[in-house]
Amino acid sequence: MNKLHWKIGTVLGLLILSFWLLYPSVEWYTKTADDRAKSEAMRMRPKRILNLGLDLKGGTHLLLELDVEKLDKKEKLGDAMTRAIEILRNRIDQYGVGETPISRQGERWIAVDLPGISNTEEAENLIGKTALLEFRLVDTSNEAQAVLSKVDGLDTPPFDKNGALVPEIAKLMPKNTALCKAAPGPDGDRARYYVLNASVPVTGAYLESARVETDRQFGTPSIGFTFNKEGGKLFENFTGANVGKYLAIVLDGVVHSAPVIKSRIGGGSGVIEGSFSLEEARNLAIILRAGALPAPVNIIEKRVVGPGLGEDSIKKGLSASLIGFLLVVAFMVVYYKGGGFIANIALALNFVFLMAAMSYFSATLTLPGIAGMILSLAMAIDANVLILERMREELHLSKPVAMVIPVGYDKAWSAILDSNVTTWIAAIFLFQFGSGPVKGFAVTLTIGLLIGMFTSVFVTRVIYEFWLTSNPKELSI
């Protein structure tokens, strides 16, 4: 009896835990769309909730290509792709889009789904920036001034379509320098340029954090940054050796500010000022925190999925699932009577446990994922059918009820295990070699099979063992 109490306590404990895990998801999706948008803007979105995929929620699909020609020659392509995917994931996670599907496609392509983001420009700005932060000295020599005067006299940009300097400017450039464009001003003035030293003593690789700050006097946003210990020391030594010179803060080849170094800058922190909007400053801080991509990425395909398609898919998926569930429940009760009713209880618990597990892992639910969920539920009910049929065979041999139940489970176990293991093997291969939706199907199926075996074998047996304490004479199957 003590063993039975322990089993019942385990089932009830898991049920209570599941409801606790599901509560944030239920609360989130019962809010209005406006309330959810406000909560996301305030970074108050719950962490452990079930996320809806692109095919259910709508959003943006992007296919990116890593510019391998601009990779550091010391870095291998495989390592660069892995790092690029991790950096993109960090950027998107910090933006507030949970569990975004990001996968490698072929040799140098990356597929990204952004559920809930239908503004492609916003998505491109978040993902496409290399975010290479550099600190360089401004060349104020007479030769550099002659270059800037010549550039001001041009009617066209000083760069050709490939990004190289036009010959008449290139021949005037001092040695070991580069011409960089300044960020546009708030009034959209004529483009300005700086001649910078080619050497880059400090980069954003040493950044520890980046955050949005606002000017106390004017309220304009800027980006505060902090170096790690090594970067702070380099920055302090660099500024100390160049007091009185201009320090250019360059992001992705664009000069955002070039203040005078008035004294040695200790403490390992600073500010990037520019004509940022609050949203631009926030996105830039996210990108800097996540790190620079190993090379630029080019968006070669973008596709917006409207939320109407997602709502329609959800309604049809729910309707199909509900109809199928009710038909299975009705069949089990009609054909197996009391045994079918117990199997239905296990099926309902299976669904609750599966949704709770997916909420805990902040999984992304897609249409293929729903298919995997339905298949796992079907496998669970199939296990109960095997058990009930074995029990029927034992009843036909006129064995007592107390013996029919354990023998039925023991004889059905090998068939249940075999069917689930073979399906697991298929799911493992789908996860290993599939991508995107296929992986989502495999993950949902794998978790569902584990939970299905638990509910169909352990939970139903606990119910039967509890029922046996009343010394029944007949078994309704």
Cβ(246)–Cβ(261) below 8 Å: yes
Mean pLDDT of the chain: 83
**193 & 85 share domain:** no
Domain that residue 186 falls in: 133-287
As a whole number, mean pLDDT of residues 299-320 equals 72
**251 & 358 share domain:** no
- The more confident residue out of 453 and 51 is 453
The CATH number of the domain holding residue 392 is: 1.20.1640.10
Please tell me the distance from the alpha carbon of residue 157 to that of residue 155, in angstroms, as a whole number.
Answer: 7
Q: Are β-strands 59-66 and 109-115 bridged in parallel, bridged antiparallel, or unpaired?
A: antiparallel
Tell whether the model's pLDDT for residue 470 goes beyond 80.
yes
Q: Does residue 223 come out as left (phi exceeding 0), alpha (psi in the -120 to 50 range) or beta?
A: beta
Residue 415 tokens, joined: 């068939």
Q: Is residue 41 part of a domain?
A: no
Q: Is residue 42 part of a domain?
A: no
Please tell me the distance from the alpha carbon of residue 226 to that of residue 224, in angstroms, as a whole number.
Answer: 7
Query: If you write DSSP's letter for every residue of 241-286 in order, what string do you get?
Result: TTTTSBEEEEETTEEEE--B--S---TTEEEE-SS--HHHHHHHHH
The CATH number of the domain holding residue 243 is: 3.30.1360.200
Q: Is residue 444 part of a domain?
A: yes
**216 & 239 share domain:** yes
- The more confident residue out of 58 and 236 is 236
**350 & 209 share domain:** no
Percent with pLDDT over 70 in the chain: 87
**122 & 157 share domain:** no
Q: For residue 60, list its beta bridge partners.
A: 114, 304
Domain boundary among 305, 331, 350: 305
* pLDDT tens column, 71-81: 877 778 888 88
Tell whether the model's pLDDT for residue 323 goes beyond 60.
yes
Nearest to 377 by CA among 287, 433, 459, 456: 456
The CATH number of the domain holding residue 95 is: 3.30.70.3400
CB-count burial class (<10 Å; 0-12, 13-18, 19+) for 325:
middle
Compute CA distances 357 → 209, 379, 428, 450, 452, whole Å.
Answer: 33, 18, 19, 11, 12
**283 & 354 share domain:** no
Domain boundary among 241, 256, 287: 287
Name the phi and psi angles at 330, rounded to 5. -65, -45
Angle separating helix axes 278-290 and 120-128, nearest 10 degrees = 40
Q: What is the pLDDT of residue 220?
A: 77
As a whole number, mean pLDDT of residues 43-72 equals 80
Residue 187 tokens, joined: 């009034």
Cβ(208)–Cβ(228) below 8 Å: yes
- pLDDT-derived band at 391, boundaries 50, 70, 90: very high
Cβ(365)–Cβ(435) below 8 Å: no
Q: Is residue 400 part of a domain?
A: yes
* pLDDT tens column, 97-131: 555 678 888 888 988 887 776 666 766 766 766 66
**113 & 137 share domain:** no
Domain boundary among 229, 254, 287: 287
DSSP state of 184: P
Number of domains making up the chain: 3
Residue type, 118: S
